[in-house]
Amino acid sequence: MSELSQYLNSKGIRPTAVRILVLRALQQQQQSAVSMADLEEVLQTVDRSSVFRTLNLFLEHHVVHQVEDGTGQTKYALCEEKCRCGARHEHLLSDFHVHFYCEHCRRTICLPDIAIPNVAMPEGFTLSAANFVLKGTCAACQSRVAQSKNKFD
Ligand SMILES: [Zn+2]
Ligand SMILES: [Zn+2]
């Protein structure tokens, strides 16, 4: 059995050809969150509704988490081993990590090592999701900018 099938099994998902294709496509994003449209472009052989159903299944089983980065498109990123988005029913803010939206390359990147700071919820409020998005220039774009500056010095 392939590594990807094993991974899906370990998450309680029966591996199918489509699920493995979607998982592989997500893995190739290297911590970047992608939209449905991005995935469809990569997975041209898979029909739209299958991609959609697979993403929802992955969400339920905490293979991916959702990111609302302010672009108006819901994005999906693979949960890392330390991702605790599915750890419990009653979420704490610190179960969610921070995301970074790069204004240059327009990628939305998971920062799994940075938990959202805990805020005491007012009484009677329960938390189901949290989106903490920082915007700016990612490391890759930063070094590109620095390089092009050097060229003209
Ligand atoms: Zn960037
Ligand atoms: Zn993330």
Query: In this model, does residue 38 exceed pLDDT 70?
Result: yes
Q: DSSP 3-state assignment of 110?
A: strand
Cβ proximity of 58 and 76 under 8 Å: yes
Of the segments 37-51, 82-96, 113-127, 136-150, which one has the largest average pLDDT value?
Answer: 37-51
- Position 89 scores a pLDDT of 59
Cβ proximity of 132 and 111 under 8 Å: no
For position 45, which CATH number holds? Answer: 1.10.10.10
How many distinct structural domains can be found in the chain?
A: 1
| Each residue's pLDDT tens digit, 95-139 | 889 999 999 999 999 998 998 888 888 999 888 888 899 999 999
Ligand that comes closest to the CA of residue 105: 1
What distance in angstroms lies between residue 128's CA and the mean position of ligand 2's atoms?
15
pLDDT band with cut points at 50, 70 and 90 for residue 152: low
Instruction: Report the mean per-residue pLDDT for the chain.
Output: 89
What distance in angstroms lies between residue 76's CA and the mean position of ligand 1's atoms?
18
| Tokens representing residue 115 in the block | 């938990």
What does DSSP assign to residue 95? G
Residue 86's domain comprises: 3-152
Ligand that comes closest to the CA of residue 103: 1
What distance in angstroms lies between residue 59's CA and the mean position of ligand 1's atoms?
26
Strand order in the sheet with 108-115: 64-68, 74-78, 32-35, 108-115, 97-102, 133-136
What distance in angstroms lies between residue 105's CA and the mean position of ligand 1's atoms?
4
- Position 82 scores a pLDDT of 67
CA 18 to mean position of chain CA atoms: 19
Phi, psi torsion values for 74, nearest 5 degrees: -70, 135
pLDDT band with cut points at 50, 70 and 90 for residue 84: low
